[in-house]
Structure 1
Amino acid sequence: MAQFHEKIYQMLKNLLQLSPETKHCILSWLGNCLHANAGRTKIWANQMPEIFFQMYASDAFFLNLGAALLKLCQPFCKPRSSRLLTFNPTYCALKELDDEERKIKNVHMRGLDKETCLIPAVREPKFPQSYNLVTENLVLTAYALYLGFHRLHDQMVKINQNLHRLQVAWRDAQQSSSPAADNLREQFERLMTIYLSTKTAMTEPQMLQNCLNLQVSMAVLLVQLAIGNEGSQLAELTFPLPDSCSSLAYVPEFFADNLGDFLIFLRRFADDILETSADSLEHVLHFITVFTGSVERMKNPHLRAKLAEVLEAVMPHLDQTPSPLVSSVFHRKRVFCSYPYAPRLAEALIKVFVDIEFTGKAVQGCRAGPWQ
């Protein structure tokens, strides 16, 4: 799988470097492809698989495309990379452009202006003459992951639940000597095959590491936007936070949703990745601390509450089985115990649930964690 992803990446990279015209054509194809598959995230898409597979590209296509795009992002997917600050979120606020304008401005994604952003825009943004490749790569990759990895994660959870249901039914049928036992066993085995093959594809080590690099970098970038940093160097996080965070009005929610979804996925299906990458978790904690309790920076209460689930996912779990390859929970415990903004984090968690309680906005799917 890793070799296949490498070949797709090399092909895309070579085409992008071949000539400006070829680069424009490839990016246009990618943008049109993602736009044509925007409906993959709709609720109805999971309810009618027959129609879904006729209208949209396959999950395998998006998983492989996402893996290749992740590789393209790696040169600037470092938490301390100043290239991250060259990202311009106004890219996502651009409305329809003709083909020539897209070529001049280096804008190849369509329809992002219809996406819900982290906060409402209060004024029209100032658009630059053109956008750099860092901006376009980050947007294309984030949207590809939202359309692909996000949906597959949901499917994995549902398959897991169905396996448990079938296992219970199969056991009950065996105990009662029901003739349905053999049929239930066959269903269980077929579903287990799908589950294992999907999990194998989604937990390819290099892809997971590349995705973690991207998501940690996105956490850093969003925090920089949240504190109003418009400079060329990363600014240190300090409290109280400044009032200026207008750039977040042009950042679609799927940037934050991807980050949370991926870390929750790691906790469920590839927890060792979190342990071996514990040094990156402080950036994730900064992101959770800044956004969870701040309706001025993230309006959606469901998304803010999801960050509490993300915190539960990245926390050290003392009851887990120790791994012989890593010092289990030690690295994460060290990060949490030395986190300088722990009081702010606790305050943010209390605030988000108080906000929800007083506004009557229920949060679905947020599991209770030890922080409660």
Structure 2
Amino acid sequence: MSYRRTSTGVNFRFTLDVHLCSSNPFAVASSGMFVSLSAVMLKLCEPFLDASLSKRDKLDPRYVLQGGRLDFSGLTAVFATSEELGKWVDSRNHSRAEGYRQIQQFGEQEEMRRLQAEEASTSMMNSSQSHPLRNIASAIDSMKFTFICECFFLTARVLNLGLIKALSDFKSLLQKLSRRKDDLAALKNMRGNGAPPSIEQDIIQAEAVVEQLSQDRLCYDSQLLKDLDLLQEALSYYRLMVVWLTGLVGGFHMPLPVPCPMEFASMPEHFVEDAMELLLFACRIPKALDGVNLDEFMSFIVMFMGSPHHIRNPYLRAKMVEVLNGWMPSKCTSPTLVSSMSSLFEGHHLALEYLVPNLLQLYVDIEFTGAHNQFYDKFNIRHNIAELLEYLWGVPSHHKSWMQVAVREEKGAYLKFLNLLINDSIFLLDESLKKIPELKEMEAQLADTTAWSRRPAQERQERERHYHQQEHIVRIDMMLANEDVKMIQYTSAEITAPFLLPEMAERIAAMLNYFLVQLVGPQRKALSVKDPEKYEFRPKELLAQIVNIYVNLDRGDSQGIFARAVSSDGRSYRDELFTEAAGLLRRIGSLPMQMIEAFELLGAKARTQAQEMMDAEAMLGDIPDEFLDPIQYTLMTDPVILPSSKTIVDRSVIQRHLLSDQTDPFNRSLLTVEMLIPDHELKRRIDDYLASHSKK
């Protein structure tokens, strides 16, 4: 940070040279200095951080665009791209900003001349009265900003470089300390048994690193964790920030205006991100949120977390969910906070109407973030969403909202949500169940201590490291899979219609059949490990949940759709598995007898449907190729034409594809459900073919 004094006052210019910071930390202000400056700036803001935020009308978004004391031009905007921003900024604003800079430069020149020749200062000042810049100064009077405005935006940048940066550094330090402790423990476990001679020196060095990082942690603890006043002052500041930002889109009203107002879209992204980072940190500190008004924060999060048309960065919207996750009453550290958070979730008017729909929307949106690691990121984000949704399902008002969304978006957003939920369940469970036999084999090798000790030390170290890595992966995958299966279980007890749609029934049936094979089929013994709980693997509970889902969907089906879908799964359906699973459940007693009997009844229905389908196939004989779906090679019942490739497919098959990928599978051009063209002539011929063969 540098200071430049001019005739118009002190001009603060904050610069952050990343390369300079990384190469020479002594060339820039320290983190401690910026945290202290953060405290000073918050004190300057204190007079206009009153409960009613009565001075927020003094804040002018033009300050960000005009480039006065601070240059915001290089910062990522919350929604607008640099090209959009460049087109939007009025050319008059550029000329006024240039005029403002000319006034500053002229003033500096005047001051220098006055110091050099005081006797001539009077004539110079008189001449300046007729100087052409006087007209420019008059023209840009409207660009002068109040102290409150300047102080507000200065504080935003100081906090970003100071307090918020320190919180980020603290988080990184804790992660690094945790990794180094794990490394130290691994080194100590290598002692003896043919360990290399350098092991003791490696342990000493690792202990020194852990000790230094622990001391650094204590320094952060004393500065950040103990100063509750600083945290609460910063929370008051960001309360004003979110209220002011929301005012740029018309206030706390839904739905949000589309397109996004450029005044909001052009604001720096870190204005929002810093507020969320502070809330995340504060909810983990006892008493940090005591007495803090969180209503506006809740409103802001509910409004924007489900809107990619206002906040472009999906990770920033995911961070809002992380904040809400930290606010759940079950995670609060004091009875007072439990009560206030329960009231916040269960009594906030915007949350009651929009929280569940926006969480479901974000669950879908996060599938594609544009980042190189988007595939794995989405599971962590959906974990936070799943925990929130489970809590909200048990709150009557939110439960009602969920039911309304399921009906309203049965063939839209809710169907996409279910499709992704099933996708995740299949992937996570499948990956976990494939790795468990490998872990079982490794457990057996470790148990044979004599044979294990004869292996070279480096080999043991590498194999143990791989084992612990796989152990961690399986534990995380199983935890996430358990959440997904549990969500399908409790929602399917009341919401069955979307699961029974043509594009979804076979999908959910195939998933359930596949995992029934894994849990009760011949290969289930391969999943028997010494301590399954440490992998979050609870096969008895998982089997009970899967059977529960089977029964839920069958009870909600009055047309035999689900039983037909179960029996048509050529990959995993086995009639004997239903008998085997029912017998196992009776022995372990994990489900009521009534549900086990309902499951057996579904098995009987599926058996009947399977026989009927076999009879129908025999009756139809060789079906003409033109009547077969080109993707699944099954008889089409509702043929449609894809407008781009002109390929004819079955409607249910292509709709299932479009839930995950809105492109034509034959040429990758854009395709939506609305673009499908019914082939009435082909459908008539298929119906005639079926009718003629049914008479034989």
The answer to whether structure 1 residue 185 and structure 2 residue 207 are counterparts is yes
Aligned residues of 2:20 and 2:27 also touching (Cα < 8 A): no
1:239 alignment partner in structure 2? 254
Aligned residues of 2:282 and 2:288 also touching (Cα < 8 A): yes
Q: Which amino acid aligns with 2:341?
A: R
Q: Which amino acid aligns with 2:232?
A: Q
The answer to whether structure 1 residue 357 and structure 2 residue 367 are counterparts is yes
1:32-181 matched pairs, under 5 angstroms: 32=13, 34=14, 36=15, 38-39=16-17, 42=18, 48=22, 51-95=23-67, 107-109=68-70, 111-120=71-80, 121=85, 123-125=88-90, 128-177=142-191, 179=200, 180-181=202-203
Distance 1:319 1:285 in 2: 17
Distance 1:188 1:157 in 2: 16
1:11 alignment partner in structure 2? none
After superposition, what is the alpha-carbon deviation per residue over 1:74-125, rounded to whole angstroms, capped at 9, x for unaligned? 1112352221122111111114xxxxxxxxxxx321x212322223235225
User: RCO (CA 8 Å, sep 6+): is it higher in 1 or 2?
Assistant: 1
Q: Gapped runs of 5+ residues in structure 1?
A: 1-19, 96-106, 228-234
Q: Please report how far the alpha carbon of residue 360 of structure 1 lies from its aligned counterpart in structure 2 after TM superposition.
A: 5.2
1:99 alignment partner in structure 2? none
TM-score (norm. length: structure 1): 0.75
Distance 1:328 1:119 in 2: 34
Farther-moved stretch of structure 1 (288-297 vs 113-122): 113-122
Q: Which amino acid aligns with 2:349?
A: P
Q: Please report how far the alpha carbon of residue 158 of structure 1 lies from its aligned counterpart in structure 2 after TM superposition.
A: 1.7
Aligned residues of 1:305 and 1:353 also touching (Cα < 8 A): no
TM-score (norm. length: structure 2): 0.42
Of the candidates 193, 205, 214, which is equivalent to residue 228 of structure 2?
Answer: 205
Of the candidates 317, 329, 352, which is equivalent to residue 338 of structure 2?
Answer: 329
Distance 1:284 1:52 in 2: 38
Q: Which amino acid aligns with 1:216?
A: R
Aligned residues of 2:41 and 2:155 also touching (Cα < 8 A): yes
Q: Which amino acid aligns with 1:211?
A: A
Q: Structure 1 21/165 Cα, relative in aligned 2: closer, same or farther at 3 Å?
A: closer
Of the candidates 241, 264, 282, which is equivalent to residue 280 of structure 2?
Answer: 264
Aligned residues of 2:328 and 2:388 also touching (Cα < 8 A): no
SS at match of 2:283: helix
SS at match of 2:183: helix
Structure (1 or 2) with the larger CA radius of gyration: 2
Distance 1:358 1:186 in 2: 43
After superposition, what is the alpha-carbon deviation per residue over 1:272-326, rounded to whole angstroms, capped at 9, x for unaligned? 212x135x1111011112211223322222322222222223x134255x54xx6
Identical-residue share of aligned pairs (%)? 24
Q: Which amino acid aligns with 1:71?
A: K
> How many residues are matched?
313
Q: Which amino acid aligns with 1:25?
A: G
Distance 2:336 2:304 in 1: 30
After superposition, what is the alpha-carbon deviation per residue over 1:192-241, rounded to whole angstroms, capped at 9, x for unaligned? 111111122123122111101011111111111122xxxxxxx6x23233
Q: Structure 1 167/133 Cα, relative in aligned 2: closer, same or farther at 3 Å?
A: same
The answer to whether structure 1 residue 308 and structure 2 residue 321 are counterparts is yes
Aligned residues of 2:167 and 2:281 also touching (Cα < 8 A): yes
Q: Which amino acid aligns with 1:261?
A: E
Output the aligned Cα RMSD: 2.8
The answer to whether structure 1 residue 25 and structure 2 residue 46 are counterparts is no
1:104 alignment partner in structure 2? none
SS at match of 2:143: coil
Q: Please report how far the alpha carbon of residue 150 of structure 1 lies from its aligned counterpart in structure 2 after TM superposition.
A: 2.7
SS at match of 2:29: coil
SS at match of 2:88: coil
1:251 alignment partner in structure 2? 267
SS at match of 1:265: helix
Aligned residues of 1:79 and 1:217 also touching (Cα < 8 A): no
Q: Please report how far the alpha carbon of residue 255 of structure 1 lies from its aligned counterpart in structure 2 after TM superposition.
A: 0.7
Aligned residues of 1:117 and 1:252 also touching (Cα < 8 A): yes
The answer to whether structure 1 residue 346 and structure 2 residue 318 are counterparts is no
Aligned residues of 2:314 and 2:369 also touching (Cα < 8 A): no
Distance 1:293 1:142 in 2: 25
SS at match of 1:352: helix
Q: Which amino acid aligns with 1:58?
A: S
Distance 1:255 1:319 in 2: 26
1:273 alignment partner in structure 2? 288
Distance 1:242 1:371 in 2: 27
Distance 1:283 1:87 in 2: 18
